[in-house]
């Protein structure tokens, strides 16, 4: 039995959960997320205990894999509609800049032309100086937008320049050693 999968997902009072067929909808205030789960698992909402329970029908390899995953995705949905998710990025490079133009993030990161990243609905991006803050209710969407922004100029190990997550540490390399080499 999956240790994570067998734990019920606690649901706060201000969150509404609806299970219909193969779909789960979690809603709180203006945030609403839905998820379609596979038929190998079953999801039930217990209103008395205010918890969502995920069970699996058999012990096949796929059902065991989906058991914990489904429970974790539902827990992320509940956390997303209540608290939300945030990823922070930093630009490291001389003369590099970032700006918002409508629903796009425009990055000037050392290329001849600026790079533009579209921001989907449900994800909010804030820019202050060289810091980018991506936030929203959907964990997967927030992570995907942050990853696309980072991929425009990933950090390089020699000078440390690039777009990096704020909590990321770049392992630096020494580079070439010049002059005065060993004599054989």
Domains 9-82 and 85-165 share a fold: yes
Q: How high does pLDDT run on average in the chain?
A: 92
pLDDT of residue 5: 84
Q: Which fold has domain 9-82?
A: Outer Surface Protein A; domain 3 (3.90.930)
Superfamily, domain 85-165: Ribosomal protein L6 (3.90.930.12)
Provide the residue ranges of all domains of the chain, joining segments of one domain with +. 9-82, 85-165
**Is the model's pLDDT at 2 over the cut of 80?**
no
Contact 20, 71 (CB under 8 A): no
Is residue 182 predicted with pLDDT exceeding 70? no
Taking 90 as the threshold, does the pLDDT of residue 176 lie above it? no
In the prediction, which pLDDT does 160 show?
A: 87
Q: How many CA atoms lie within 13 A of 138 on its CB side?
A: 15
**Counting Cβ atoms within 10 Å, is residue 35 exposed (0-12), middle (13-18) or buried (19+)?**
middle
Q: What is the structure's pLDDT at 179?
A: 65
Q: What pLDDT digit, counting tens, does each position of 108-144 carry? A: 999 999 999 999 999 999 999 999 999 999 999 999 9
DSSP 8-state secondary structure symbol assigned to residue 29: T
């Amino acid at each position: 039995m999956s240790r994570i999968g067998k734990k019920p997902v606690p649901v706060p009072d201000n969150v509404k959960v609806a299970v219909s067929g193969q779909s789960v909808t979690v809603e709180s205030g203006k945030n609403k997320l839905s998820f379609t789960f596979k038929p190998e698992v079953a999801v039930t909402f217990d209103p008395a205990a205010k918890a969502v329970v995920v069970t699996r029908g058999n012990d096949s390899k796929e059902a065991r894999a989906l058991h914990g995953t489904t429970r974790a995705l539902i827990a992320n949905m509940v956390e997303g509609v209540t608290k939300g998710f945030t990823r922070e990025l930093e630009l490291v490079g001389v003369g590099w800049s970032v700006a918002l133009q409508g629903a796009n993030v425009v990055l000037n990161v050392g290329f001849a032309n600026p790079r533009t990243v579209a921001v989907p609905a449900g994800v909010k991006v804030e820019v202050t100086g060289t810091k980018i803050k991506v936030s929203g209710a959907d964990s997967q969407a927030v992570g995907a937008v942050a990853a696309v922004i980072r991929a425009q100029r990933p950090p390089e190990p020699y000078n440390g320049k690039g777009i990096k997550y704020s909590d990321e540490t770049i392992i630096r390399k020494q580079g070439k050693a010049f002059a005065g080499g060993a004599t054989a």
